[in-house]
Structure 1
Amino acid sequence: MNIVKRILKANQGRDPERLSMKYRALRDNPFSFLRGTCHLFYDRLAESGFDVAAPVVWCCGDLHLENFGSYKGDNRLVYFDINDFDEAALAPASWELVRLAASVHVGLEAQGIPVDRATALVEELLDQYARALACGKPAWIERDTARGMVRQLLDQLRERSRVDWLNGRTRLVRRHRRLLVDGRRTLPVTAAERDDVTATVQAFAAGQPAPAFYRVLDVARRIAGTGSLGVARYVVLVEGRGSPDRNYLFDLKQSGPSALGRRFRGLQPHWPDDAHRIAGVQQRMQAVTAAFLHPVKHGGHPFVLRALQPSEDRLPFERFKTQPELFDGAIAMLARCVAWAQLRSGGRQGAAIADELIAFAGKKKWRRQVALAASDASRQALADWREFSAAYDAGQCPAAPPGA
């Protein structure tokens, strides 16, 4: 397998400037590589012959340690849950679990944490997942019962003032806000892009109860994530409830096919487009849907519009080695979030019902199979990262053209 060719092919047609950033991120460390090559992970898993019998469930599709975080729901309260559904699909639960467990190995071992510690955490992850599934009733993480870093994230978001949030992302010009374009979180747009995004948001607003809320004040290209770097994505500053201190920030992101869904084409129900798939599965799996989540059309392509969700609201597992006390109970909470999301979305368009999931939780053999597959997958990901790194260092991954 020529993994470099596969990666280049999977990223064809993306914005060169942000794609160059993605390739640098993939080169940076094995965990970034794992995050940014979901398609390759599932290719490798299929080629390994992985075939663990498991109920078909709605999956996040790209489950790893940093695809959990805090967010404000559409009821404006703060929650902690799975928070990325770009790769969402209907698939056997075992495939979702292998990716998450492999991310534990890759993420922690890249920090120099001993293999046996990561192995023990994977065992805890699968045990806690099975326990939550066996209960047969979905719940959610309450702020008052959360511990460690999860509690800190919930407190941080709850206490964040809108003015402070806006001040970190915008600048005031004669009492009107404009987006900060810093090359780190945002890049400039062309006049044509600005006009097109404004027209898309205005068309969406026309069907909403308060169209003036969505009046566009500024637009920038957004830099966020790893796997999706290079797809069309914008930060949109809107009027909200009043300028300058009650403006709102939105994320407008292009939707593409699911890498996991491609592996299980025969299981997938019909969706109007990929944006409806992403938003629809997110609404099913989350306890409370993230604020302002809507599928829209932009330039004839499917996009998801939602309230801007900063990367700072995700669990920073890179601090696990230096501050392990912050992650007390975190693995158990992640496992429960996965089980609850599967129970919550059970019975929808081919997904297993709760009784099937409870029966699966009571079996033991699959845990060992998933743990072994995750360990093998993590070693393969490390080998693939080394091969990619050598190719990157040899100049085989195109950089952004000058002035891009």
Structure 2
Amino acid sequence: MKQNFDDRLRDLERSRALKMARSTHAYVRGNTAKFYEWLADSRSAARLPAGPAIWICGDCHLGNLGPIADAGGKVDVQIRDLDQTVIGNPAHDLIRLGLSLATAARGSDLPGVTTAQMIEQMVEGYALAMAEQGEAETPEPNVVRAVRRRALGRRWRHLADERLDDVEPKLPLGKKFWALASDEKAALDQLFEDPAVTALILSLSARDESDRVRLIDAAYWKKGCSSLGNLRFAALVSIGGTRKKPAEYALIDLKEAVPAIAPTGHGRAMPRDHAERVVAGATALAPNLGERMLATHVLGKPVVLRELMPQDLKLEIAQFSRSEATRAARYLAYVVGLAHARQMDASDRASWGRAIARRQSASIDAPTWLWDSIVDLTASHEAGYLEHCRRYALAQAA
């Protein structure tokens, strides 16, 4: 299935527009730029507290959290997408998570009072992480526990069933995988001869460092939402293989690292190379993921390479119940809090924890700056979503 670059880009733009038209929550997930436009222009943003300058996710919405396996297969719920990671203000992650939870609640037809309770629980969960409380204090909600249990039982065959036509080593060209251009194929052939790439792949799952890693198939991958239009490749590799022991297979994700939209903090230097920035942020925020990533280049562009593990799953919550919504808000904010807290010393954790937990309103048990920000953002994204749907409908009619 051959496609030139312009055809590919038009198809990707249509796919992105369709994804974002499905719901307000999908629009929030796919439109990081609107969040940071608000942050730059809104008077509310001027009232935000300045937390310690640490690595933040930069795009901390519900779909970017989930079970992640480390190099040895241990599974933890962590941040799973770090494209926008920068050294910045941790308050930005809290607001974006709150916005995502609020729009998910609205999509589940939950009343506004439940959203208020979710934000209150979110603040409590985050403050617990700053106070270094144990996970027993913040039990997993059922929706998270179900995904984690499913992750623990997954093996290569499950990943192959989802991504491939069969467990046999071939990428099925069609709606998701597209044939490579000749220069892309040559670049990937060369990349998988790189000793650094081989070393990373062999470092996972207790593999033998003497095994041969061989690229056996690759394709352009139509995947994600905000990343559509940038380089994205899937690569199938074989590992080892003898008469007595069959080869193992692995699916490798290669994703272009683009400049971050998120504003950066002052006083700490970040890597100038965007792939190195993403890996550094992942290492700080989501160690399970960071140790499985490599910053490299394809066709002169910075690219992050990582092996997809069967246990890596995103939280896809179609419907929230009232009780599950508040429990999920508390737990997921706790997860984000742990990612932030591990970068702070005891003094910073204590002072930032107090700032987050401080009640500043008689009407809601959460900081006024957080609540007002989420209300303002929810309104602007609802309006933006309706305008996006209008334009999408006009484009379809044309």
TM range (shorter): 0.7 to 0.9
Residues 393 and 244 from structure 1, CA distance in 2 versus in 1: closer, same or farther, beyond 3 angstroms? farther
* 1:107 shift after superposition: 1.9
Cα distance in 2 between the residues matched to 1:244 and 1:389: 50
Indicate conservation of the 8 Å contact 2:170/2:217, yes or no: yes
Indicate conservation of the 8 Å contact 2:283/2:291, yes or no: no
Indicate conservation of the 8 Å contact 1:31/1:103, yes or no: yes
Structure 1 residue corresponding to 2:61, chosen from 40, 61, 64:
64
Give the equivalent residue in structure 1 for 2:178. Answer: 187
Residues 256 and 227 from structure 1, CA distance in 2 versus in 1: closer, same or farther, beyond 3 angstroms? same
Give the equivalent residue in structure 2 for 1:24. Answer: 18
Cα distance in 2 between the residues matched to 1:76 and 1:381: 38
- Alignment partner of 1:345 is 2:357: no
* 1:110 shift after superposition: 2.5
Q: Which moved more, 1:49-58 or 1:277-286?
A: 49-58
Q: Which amino acid aligns with 2:233?
A: Y
* 1:280 shift after superposition: 0.6
Count of equivalent residues = 374
Q: Which moved more, 1:189-198 or 1:271-280?
A: 189-198
Cα distance in 2 between the residues matched to 1:314 and 1:195: 32
Cα distance in 2 between the residues matched to 1:300 and 1:352: 43
Give the equivalent residue in structure 2 for 1:360. Answer: 355
Indicate conservation of the 8 Å contact 2:123/2:357, yes or no: no
* 1:120 shift after superposition: 1.5
Give the equivalent residue in structure 1 for 2:105. Answer: 108
- Alignment partner of 1:258 is 2:250: no
Residues 26 and 169 from structure 1, CA distance in 2 versus in 1: closer, same or farther, beyond 3 angstroms? closer
* 1:67 shift after superposition: 0.9
Residues 160 and 362 from structure 1, CA distance in 2 versus in 1: closer, same or farther, beyond 3 angstroms? closer
Cα distance in 1 between the residues matched to 2:290 and 2:133: 18
Q: Which moved more, 1:331-340 or 1:359-368?
A: 359-368
Give the equivalent residue in structure 2 for 1:389. Answer: 389
Cα distance in 1 between the residues matched to 2:210 and 2:11: 33
SS in 2 for 1:97: helix
SS in 2 for 1:230: coil
Give the equivalent residue in structure 2 for 1:3. Answer: none
User: Deviations 1:207-236 (Å, cap 9, x if unpaired)?
Assistant: 666485531111122232221122110111
Give the equivalent residue in structure 2 for 1:236. Answer: 235
SS in 1 for 2:127: helix
Residues 345 and 337 from structure 1, CA distance in 2 versus in 1: closer, same or farther, beyond 3 angstroms? same
Indicate conservation of the 8 Å contact 1:132/1:336, yes or no: yes
Unpaired stretches in structure 2, ≥5 consecutive residues:
1-5, 203-208, 361-365
Q: Which amino acid aligns with 1:250?
A: I
Structure 2 residue corresponding to 1:79, chosen from 76, 79, 85:
76
Cα distance in 2 between the residues matched to 1:311 and 1:37: 27
Indicate conservation of the 8 Å contact 2:217/2:236, yes or no: yes
Q: Which amino acid aligns with 1:157?
A: A
Indicate conservation of the 8 Å contact 2:67/2:312, yes or no: no
Aligned positions of 1:4-403 closer than 5 A: 15-49=9-43, 50-51=45-46, 52-56=48-52, 57-133=54-130, 135=131, 137=132, 146-171=140-165, 177-183=169-175, 185-203=176-194, 204-205=196-197, 210=209, 213-242=212-241, 246-260=248-262, 263-264=263-264, 266=266, 269-289=269-289, 292-308=292-308, 313-320=313-320, 329-346=327-344, 353-365=348-360, 367-395=367-395
User: Deviations 1:306-347 (Å, cap 9, x if unpaired)?
Assistant: 1126898111122325xx676683222201111111111226
SS in 2 for 1:45: helix
* 1:241 shift after superposition: 4.4
Indicate conservation of the 8 Å contact 2:101/2:329, yes or no: no
Residues 31 and 146 from structure 1, CA distance in 2 versus in 1: closer, same or farther, beyond 3 angstroms? closer
Percent pairwise identity: 21
User: Deviations 1:66-97 (Å, cap 9, x if unpaired)?
Assistant: 11011211222112111111001122222221
Residues 24 and 140 from structure 1, CA distance in 2 versus in 1: closer, same or farther, beyond 3 angstroms? same
Indicate conservation of the 8 Å contact 2:105/2:325, yes or no: no
User: Deviations 1:101-124 (Å, cap 9, x if unpaired)?
Assistant: 111111221232222222221221
Indicate conservation of the 8 Å contact 2:179/2:219, yes or no: yes
CA-based RMSD of the aligned residues comes to 3.2
SS in 1 for 2:224: coil
Q: Which amino acid aligns with 2:127?
A: A
Q: Which amino acid aligns with 2:40?
A: A
Indicate conservation of the 8 Å contact 1:218/1:237, yes or no: yes
SS in 1 for 2:288: coil
Indicate conservation of the 8 Å contact 1:285/1:341, yes or no: yes
* 1:289 shift after superposition: 3.5
SS in 2 for 1:313: coil
Q: Return the TM-score normalized by structure 2.
A: 0.83
SS in 2 for 1:276: helix
Residues 248 and 68 from structure 1, CA distance in 2 versus in 1: closer, same or farther, beyond 3 angstroms? same
SS in 2 for 1:390: helix
